[in-house]
Amino acid sequence: VLRVERALERCVKQQPPQKVYDSVVSFAFNVGTGNACSSTLVKLLNQRRWADACRQLPRWVYVKGVFNQGLDNRRAREMAWCLKGAGL
């Protein structure tokens, strides 16, 4: 997890609320920091658009173009936690 956090420090230039940050670390750990850092989600974080960034999480539920229920479940949990941090 520490390696993921350090990699995210290079691309997330804003300090998100803790629950948003926790969700993003979980997401990046799962999809890889390269994918996370090049995502719209991180672009929105850097614009301090916390809720909009959180709402990007459900887009990441496919493996090689095929819907994955396990990822859908994970992203739903991450998004719920993230939105709490965004004040929603």
What confidence tens digit (pLDDT) does each residue in 43-65 have? 999 999 999 999 999 999 999 99
The whole-number pLDDT of residue 88 equals: 82
Q: Which residues of 6-40 are buried (b: 16+ CB within 10 A; e: fewer)?
A: ebbeebbeeebeebbbebbbbbbbeeebeebbebe
- The CATH number that domain 2-85 falls under is 1.10.530.40
The answer to pTM > 0.75 is yes
Mean pLDDT of the chain: 97
Strand (E) or helix (H) holding 71 = helix 69-85
Where does the pLDDT of residue 77 fall: very low under 50, low under 70, confident under 90, or very high at 90 and above? very high
Instruction: At 54, list the tokens.
Output: 């959180």
Would you state the torsion angle of the CA atoms of residues 60, 25, 70, 58, taken in this order, to the nearest 10 degrees?
A: -30
Sorted by where each begins, the domain ranges of the chain are 2-85
Rounded to an integer, what distance in angstroms lies between the CA atom of residue 60 and that of residue 6? 22
